[in-house]
Amino acid sequence: MQFLKSLYLKPVLFYCLSALVVVFCVGFIFSIFFSIGIFAFIAILVLLVIDILLLYKQANGIVASRLVSDRLSNGDANKIQLIVENNYPFDAHLSIIDEVPIQFQERNLEFNLSLPKGKKKLINYTVTPTQRGEYNFGKLNVYAAANIGFVERKFVFSEEKDVAVYPSFLQMKKYELIAFSNHLTQTGIKKIRKIGRNTEFEKINEYTAGDDFKTINWQATARKGKLMINQYQEEKSQNVYCIIDMGRSMKMPFNGLTLLDYAINSSLVLSNIIAKKYDKPGIITFNNKIKNVLKTDNSGLQMQRIMELLYKQKTGFAESNYEMLYSTIKYKVPQRSLMLLFTNFETLDSLDRQLIYLKGIAKNHLLICIFFENTELTTITKKETYNTTDVYRQTIAEKFIFEKKLILKKLNQHGIQTIYTAPENLTINSINKYLEIKSRHLI
């Protein structure tokens, strides 16, 4: 029974049998064709038996496995590897079907190849998750055929595995390298500023590529005969909170990810930069009530706490309660801190309802409100108009864009700094703002 379950007839066999039927039909008129048909039928039957014997005489003719990390990075291309080995004494023609998690909706993930006898093959492909949570990889199916090609044998490998999709730790590593490298330019977007220094002198070091020319100590350079620079201590141990609004406004999707996921990915990246710069990162999440308050800390375990906290966050459909946010910050964050609020107001009315609480937070802390540009509206305003409907849509889009600018202006008038960014540029712009705040010693 197991034999029949793993045996599949290939189309070429049916083509041969169809041709054989034609030969037999003609054989009723011309007897010579009937004889040819008998010999052809015997030949096909013999080849079919040989084909089956070749594929089934060896139990482990094909061996395959999947290599996948225990954690995937949300919103990024994650590499998956398949290893296939041919133990047959002949070249095998393989079709490999991997059962990827249902969240990817990938129904045509198939790899076809010819694998020489005794050889291994490494197959790489990528998957890009767009939501956090548990993902289940199923079985790995390999269909093997010999050169005759009448049948193929199915091998099933139990490679089931549950993996967790976490906030984008790949971006975290990427931006850490960028922020601490000597080439601080994010491809085509914006230059990242270096952190400023205070006036406390630390020591004199030899110049290395990337150091600021303004710090060159010319007297030491003259004595040593090589460039020497003054090194200063950086300001450390400032409290920096990433506050994530998880209300209904953050459920809006862009390029597969919700605004909440963009905010979570950026908060993870930014928290890592903050920790590496010896400041203390913390997280506050809220919607109609306060969800989590992770107090700032500069211990080695803080980033793991942040990762686990952000992994579990989900948006809701309720309106965000800024009054409760204000009360929580007032009583739980007594020390002046940098507050990076990831939110999204679409209308002036929605801002006016919460402005009193934002002003209250800004009175004791340095508050920066981070808003998302609706890039789809921007695209509409740049399209050619051909009829009244197009004009109407373009006018409405321009109205919403203008109202968003009024929101930013109103916040700035009340001393609240803002970042207005497209979702895909959120991380780099947030890092730039943090480094700018540090360089200007505003906290």
Q: How far apart are the first and last CA of the chain?
A: 73
The pLDDT, as a whole number, for residue 209 is 67
Count of C-beta atoms within a 10 Å radius of residue 294:
19
The pLDDT score that the predictor gives to residue 252 is 85
Judged on CB neighbours under 10 Å (0-12, 13-18, 19+), 190 is middle
Helix axes 348-364, 322-332, angle to 10 degrees: 10
> Which pLDDT score is estimated for 201?
57
Tokens representing 161 are 């595995």
What does the alpha-carbon distance between residue 412 and residue 410 come to, in Å, rounded to a whole number? 5
DSSP SS3 for 201: strand
Phi-psi region of 89 (alpha: psi -120 to 50; beta: other; left: phi over 0): alpha
Give the Cα separation of 385 and 274 in Å (integer): 46
Residue 193 is predicted with a pLDDT of 43
136 in Cβ contact with 162 (< 8 Å): yes
Q: What is the pLDDT of residue 190?
A: 45
Half-sphere exposure of 197 (CA within 13 A, CB side): 12
- pTM, 2 dp: 0.76
Interatomic CA distance for residues 37 and 22, integer angstroms: 9
Nearest to 339, CA basis, from 397, 286, 386, 380: 286
Residues 138, 229: Cα–Cα separation, whole Å: 58
Q: Cα(171)–Cα(128) distance, rounded to whole angstroms?
A: 13
Separation between Cα atoms, residue 88 and residue 78, nearest integer Å? 32
What pLDDT score does 439 carry? 77
Residue ranges of the domains in the chain? 1-166, 169-195+235-439, 201-232
For the record, the structure tokens of 83 come out as 């290893």
Instruction: Output the tens digit of pLDDT for each of the chain's 443 residues.
Output: 555 557 766 777 666 767 666 665 666 565 665 566 677 777 777 888 888 888 888 888 999 999 999 999 998 999 999 999 999 999 999 999 999 999 888 877 899 999 999 899 999 999 999 889 899 999 999 999 988 888 888 999 988 899 999 998 888 877 776 666 544 444 443 444 444 444 455 678 787 766 667 778 888 888 878 888 877 655 567 899 999 999 888 888 888 888 999 999 999 999 999 988 889 999 999 998 999 999 999 888 999 999 999 998 887 778 889 999 999 999 999 899 999 999 998 888 889 999 999 999 999 999 999 999 888 888 888 888 888 888 888 888 888 888 888 999 999 999 899 999 998 889 888 988 888 888 777 77
Contacts of 54 (CB under 8 A, 6+ apart): 88, 90, 146, 148
Backbone angles phi and psi of 327, in degrees to 5: -65, -40
Q: Which stretch of DSSP H or E encloses residue 307?
A: helix 302-311
**Architecture of the 169-195+235-439 domain:** 3-Layer(aba) Sandwich (3.40)
Residues 6+ apart with CB under 8 A from 233: 197, 198, 200, 202
Q: Please state which CATH number belongs to domain 1-166.
A: 2.60.40.10
Say how many CA atoms lie within 13 Å of 238 toward its Cβ: 23
Q: Where are the alpha helices (DSSP H) in 28-143?
A: 31-56
Give the DSSP H or E segment for 352: helix 348-364
Residue 280: the pLDDT is 92
Give me the sheet containing 71-73, strands edge to edge.
71-73, 161-166, 133-137
Q: E strands of 383-429, at which residues? A: 417-421
State the pLDDT at residue 188.
Answer: 41
